[in-house]
Amino acid sequence: MSLSGKTLANTFRDLLNMDNSNSGVDSTTRVVKDGLGTSSSLHLSDDVVGVKPQNDDTVATFFVEDKSGTDLLVVDSTNSKVSALGNYLNTQYASFGIGSTQSASFAANTHSPLIFGDGIYASLGGFPEFGTGTDPATTFTTSNGTDSGAQALVPCMWYVPDAISIDGVTSLEGADSATGDVTRMHLFSYTFTSGDSACLTSGTLLAHNSDVTNAGSEQPYLSSWTVDSAAVTAGKVILAFFESDSVNSDYSIKIRIKYHLT
């Protein structure tokens, strides 16, 4: 809008101002208002630019777009969300995995945990077993033994120091023999009690993939998982599990979790 040729009576509603006794911008941050005194979301001083909505709603409180209107940066005050290029600004990734040599100890129809982090080919004497039910067991007790001691469990645990929300999970798997198996995987969180043999309790299903009918070593498989419960509170531990209905093959597996801090 141009003010050229227009009277103050026809333009004052659209003029922006601050309540500062006609002293202009100074060191005090003040809300910017229109000519009728209606407060905007913009706050200004000589050193500060602030954005504070009058109401939290689904409209972005602050955004930056390119010329075509594509969102580059969005602040959503309703959901306490800051996103850039369509992703949470604090998006992070975590991984679990194992190589086929290490998974050779996995038993059929048994939920076995995978190793957390980038060291997926770390050598362990054996792996803990979390039962043969539809889902992994919701509790675990360590004991003296190659496959059930703390030394076998700790490499498989992801300790979560801050609350997170899981945005997506994908996995890759590859068999080492010509004949494969029906495989499935799960992601679980647990309450962790340090210094106690009953160290994992209150297991909760976070995500799972659909069964994969693996035809053997001639083809790898990619799975996009269903997220069942995205929120994980601070102090929990997360484990990823693999299960196959038989043991025609041993498997190399990589699981990638996309998440953000909450």
Whether 147 contacts 128, CB under 8 Å: yes
| pTM listed for this prediction | 0.80
Tell me, what DSSP letter sits at residue 12?
G
CATH number, domain of 157, equals 2.60.120
Taking residues 154-161, what's their average pLDDT? 96
Read off the tokens for 80. Answer: 């306490």
More confident residue, 186 or 15: 186
106 and 5 in a common domain: no
- Name the more confident of 60 and 44: 44
Full DSSP string of 239-257: EEEEEESS-S--EEEEEEE
> Domain check: are 193 and 107 in the same one?
yes
Closest CA to 158 of 108, 216, 92, 109: 92
Give pLDDT tens digits for 18-31: 888 888 889 988 88
Q: Name the token pair of 160.
A: 């979560």
Q: What is the arithmetic mean of pLDDT over 216-233?
A: 98
Is there a single domain that holds both residue 82 and residue 129? no
Same domain, 104 and 201: yes
Q: Are residues 78 and 136 part of one domain?
A: no
Q: Which domain holds residue 252?
A: 91-261
Residues 153 and 195 in one domain: yes
Q: In this structure, how many other beta carbons lie within 10 angstroms of the beta carbon of residue 77?
A: 19
Give the model confidence (pLDDT) of 97-131 as tens digits. 999 999 999 999 999 999 998 655 556 668 999 99
Residues 217 and 183 in one domain: yes
Same domain (yes/no): 24, 102: no
Q: How far apart are CA 124 and CA 130, in angstroms?
A: 17
Domain total of the chain: 3
Q: Are residues 104 and 190 in the same domain?
A: yes
What pLDDT is stored for residue 124 in this prediction? 64
Are 77 and 135 members of one domain?
A: no
pLDDT class of 190 with cuts at 50, 70, 90: very high
Residues 179 and 75 in one domain: no
Same domain, 170 and 121: yes
Number of H helices, E strands in the chain: 1, 20
Per the prediction, the chain carries an average pLDDT of: 90
Residue-level pLDDT at 50? 78
What would the pLDDT profile of 135-149 be if each residue is shown by its tens digit?
999 999 999 877 899
